[in-house]
Structure 1
Amino acid sequence: MNDAADNTPDTAETISAVIITKNEEANIARCLKALSWVDEIVVVDSGSNDDTRQLATELGAAVFEADWNGFGPTKALGVDKATSQWIISVDADEVVSPQLASEIQKVLIDGTDHHGFDMPRKTNFLGRWIHHCGWYPDRVLRLFLKAHGNFNDAPVHERVVLKGDIGHLKEYLLHYSYPSLEHYLVKSNRYTTLGAQKALTDGRRANWFDIVIRPTVSFLSHYISRQGFRDGLEGLLISVLSAVAVMMKYSKLRVLQNEQRRRET
């Protein structure tokens, strides 16, 4: 680890941060500055046409350019490029809090029998930290030994496949995912398209139940069961928008399967 940043002893195991990017100039500096304590920062960029790569390079990251092959494969490529024993995977719109950084460094210094760790993630939606809606605490497996894990090949909703034991960290990863409604809608459009494409590949078929009933169930789950109403207007918006995203995913799947049927006839 970077002794100049945290004065940790040389006995600590090494750690690389891995981030994937595309047009993240608004987020990348905040993300990387919170990672000054790691031994290495690997950024895999897929076609940015803003200053993302330049900013990452200026902040000490090793930047690799790669074609976009989905979230899982692109993150896995970043892990392959890393040279440390431990990997921490961070999205460009996430920040490792000082408390989480200290907790991770203590684990690496003291040693552990675990092969990976999950951590709670707190999401900021339109300037408000969300504590319900099923968004909190959103535990994510992001810290793991390179020799024991890597990301799967899912194009969306990727996850780390780990061979070994998982420990649990207490401090938070901060997620500045949705600074505006426009940003949310752009992101949701992208994710629902990828989700529909994956569903088609997996042999799923959309029907009226998926397009009408599933969104209703999603709203009730977020707003009532997961107490989204306790997050005020933002909780209501999350619940409504989550339902719309479900409807959009299955509507897009329906379009894709109709196109597939026409090609086959």
Structure 2
Amino acid sequence: MNRITGLILTYNGERLLDEALESLSFCSEILIIDSGSTDSTLDIARKHNARVVYNAWNGAIEQHKFAQSLIETSWVITIDQDELISPELKKSIIQMLENPSNDFDGYYCARRSWYLDRFIMHSGWYPDKLFRVFRHGGITIGGIRPHEELRPVNKADELDGDIIHYPYENFFQHMDKINEYTQDAALDLYSRGKRGSLGSAIGHAIGKFLKQYVIKAGFLDGKAGFIVAVHGFFYTFQKYIRLVELEMKDKNNA
């Protein structure tokens, strides 16, 4: 079977890292790029014989680019520190590695995320296909901060089975992430010349809510689907209203 590296970017990921690494136990090597964890992340990594390399955090895009220079196998699978490889996806990956097609740079995998009391199967959250299994050198790394975007250089196919995602431990953690992500997103938009207003913030936010709850059938996800849509509204409003704040700050400093 072709060799494959399991790659995870970590920072204080003790909540689910043990389970995440266990789900990668079929890999030839596990590589962790850590950005200064102070919890038990590194102890958990050692338990699974992972190779740990420190690199100061400069966003997920730069971390992924840094990681590629350290890969020594012909294939890579990357997951986040709050994700697991399902048994079905593990089986698909192993079967693919036994006789990989030369036609594809890699494979998209569906991601199934848990929120509140259920896996969200609508709301634009599923199947959430991500390019996570790829030949070393077969990806382009880009995106808009705070989110990286991995894409094939040429062609890709899909694998059966899901990546299982547990993104938030509670609402407090979700709100912390919204605060962090919207600031990064606003700074990125502002650096590219985008500007906001109260009207655009409200308009984009309402559009996000309607897309998730109505068009993407979030109402079928019960109360969790409604909360997801409300948080989508708040996230989008915050992202665009922070453009107004950044513009005011620049004017005041001029």
TM-score range with shorter-chain normalisation?
A: over 0.9
The answer to whether the 8 A contact 1:18-1:88 is kept is: yes
Letter in 2 for 1:59: H
Residue 209 of structure 1 corresponds to: 199
Give the structure-1-normalised TM-score: 0.92
Q: Secondary structure at the match of 2:124?
A: coil
1:147 alignment partner in structure 2: 137
| Cα contact 2:204–2:237 (8 A) shared by 1 | yes
The amino acid across from 1:51 in the alignment is: S
Task: Output the amino acid matched with 1:53.
Answer: L
Three-state SS of the structure 2 residue aligned to 1:160 is: strand
Partner Cα distance (1:188, 1:22) in 2 = 17
Matched, 1:36 2:25: yes
Going from structure 1 to structure 2, the CA distance change for 1:169 and 1:44 (only over 3 Å counts) comes to same
1:23 corresponds in structure 2 to 12
CA RMSD of aligned residues (A): 1.3
Matched, 1:49 2:55: no
Following TM superposition, the consecutive aligned residue runs of length 4 or more in structure 1 with deviations greater than 3 angstroms are none
Tell me which residue corresponds to 2:188. 198
Report SS of the residue matched to 1:246: helix
Matched with 2:47 is 58
Partners of 2:240 and 2:177 in 1: CA distance: 16
1:144 maps to a residue whose letter is F
Select which of 60, 68, 81 maps to 1:92.
81
User: In the TM superposition, what are the counterparts of 1:1-265 in structure 2 within 5 Å?
Assistant: 12-112=1-101, 113-152=103-142, 154-263=144-253, 265=254
Give the CA deviation at 1:137. 0.9
Shift of 1:153: 6.5
Aligned partner of 2:122: which letter? Answer: H
Following TM superposition, by how much is the alpha carbon of 1:193 offset from its aligned partner in structure 2, in angstroms? 1.1
CA contact (8 A) 1:76 1:150 kept: no
Local SS of the residue matching 1:25? coil
Quote how far apart the aligned CAs of 1:219 are.
0.7
List runs of 5+ in structure 1 lacking aligned partners: 1-11
Partner-residue secondary structure (3-state), 2:15: coil
Structure 2: segments with no counterpart, 5+ residues: none
**CA–CA separation in structure 1 for the residues paired with 2:142 and 2:202:** 31
**Once structures 1 and 2 are overlaid, which stretch shifts more, 142-151 or 210-219?**
142-151
Asked whether the equivalents of residues 144 and 185 of structure 2 are also in contact (C-alpha less than 8 Å), the reply is no
Deviation at 1:260, TM superposition (A): 2.1
Question: Structure 1 residue 124: deviation in Å?
Answer: 0.4
How far apart are 1:257 and its partner, in Å? Answer: 2.0
1:160: how far off? 1.3
Moved more, 27-36 or 47-56: 47-56
Measured in 2, the distance between the counterparts of 1:219 and 1:198 equals 23
CA deviation after TM superposition for structure 1 residue 179, in Å: 2.7
Identity score, percent: 28
